Structure 1
Amino acid sequence: MDDRRTRLERERQKTLERLASLTGDFDAIVAASRDSNADDEHDPEGSTIAFERSQLGALAEQARRHLTEIDAAEERLAAGTYETCERCGRPIWDDRLRARPVARTCTACASAG
């Protein structure tokens, strides 16, 4: 398996592990809130269960979007366009792809916004 495909597969595995952990944490918070009659919404001392659920939900959604980006990167790899900037058509250097395997743009275009 070539290095690019290996990097993407490692990125997928890390993201799936992160998603599983976040899902487990989310499920634990939901279960704990069912067993508690505490009024955490009005507790001035700390974060609320609802806030924690919301935060974990957002992180899980971010991981799901990253999986979609990995799928798109694998499609670009199969099509032979993985190392080509989608904006300007110039090469995406290997250092950038090592740091961000799902990168769609070269450093210059990413910096330009």
Structure 2
Amino acid sequence: MAALEAERADATAQVLDLDRAVAGVVEASRDSNADDEHDPEGATIAFERAQAIAVRDRQRSRLREVDAALGRVADGTFGRCERCGCEIAPGRLLARPTSHTCVTCADARR
């Protein structure tokens, strides 16, 4: 499925970019003598680092979801709800190709 492969490539690129961003923030703070707690800029550095790590972790999660969807394509279960076994509506898969449940089962989980 081309959409999933494209999404995988995008997520992978973003994870790599964010890994570099996190490393850059860590390296920048390493070059400073001040610690985050007592440096007026420290809170900003700590915030930037936490922000980059959080975004990277979300992208890693997205990548795991895409890989799981590609696994379902490979084993022939893509497009079937993991809970009830019914077909997932094509519109849902178009909007969210990593969906693993139908709308009914997704709503029931909320």
Tell me if both proteins adopt one fold, taking TM over 0.5 as the criterion: yes
Structure 2 unaligned residues grouped into runs of 5+: none
Which residue is equivalent to 1:7? 3
Q: Is the 8 A contact 1:92 1:105 kept in 2?
A: yes
Task: State how far apart, in whole Å, the 1-side matches of 2:99 and 2:106 are.
Answer: 9
Which residue is equivalent to 1:26? 22
Shift of 1:38: 3.4
Which residue is equivalent to 1:69? 65
Indicate how the Cα distance of structure 1 residues 25 and 92 shifts in structure 2: closer, same or farther if over 3 A, else same: same
Structure 1 residue 87 and structure 2 residue 83: aligned?
A: yes
Q: Is the 8 A contact 1:11 1:101 kept in 2?
A: no
Structure 1 residue 99 and structure 2 residue 95: aligned?
A: yes
Task: State how far apart, in whole Å, the 1-side matches of 2:45 and 2:106 are.
Answer: 37
Q: Over aligned residue pairs, what C-alpha RMSD do you find?
A: 2.0
For these two proteins, the number of residue pairs brought into alignment is 109
Indicate how the Cα distance of structure 1 residues 53 and 24 shifts in structure 2: closer, same or farther if over 3 A, else same: same
Shift of 1:94: 1.6
Calculate percent identity across the aligned residue pairs. 50
Residue identity opposite 1:108 in structure 2: T
Residue identity opposite 1:25 in structure 2: A
Structure 1 unaligned residues grouped into runs of 5+: none
In the superposition, the TM-score normalised over structure 2's length comes to 0.83
In the superposition, the TM-score normalised over structure 1's length comes to 0.81
SS at match of 2:98: coil
Which residue is equivalent to 2:107? 111
Shift of 1:66: 2.0
Shift of 1:58: 2.5
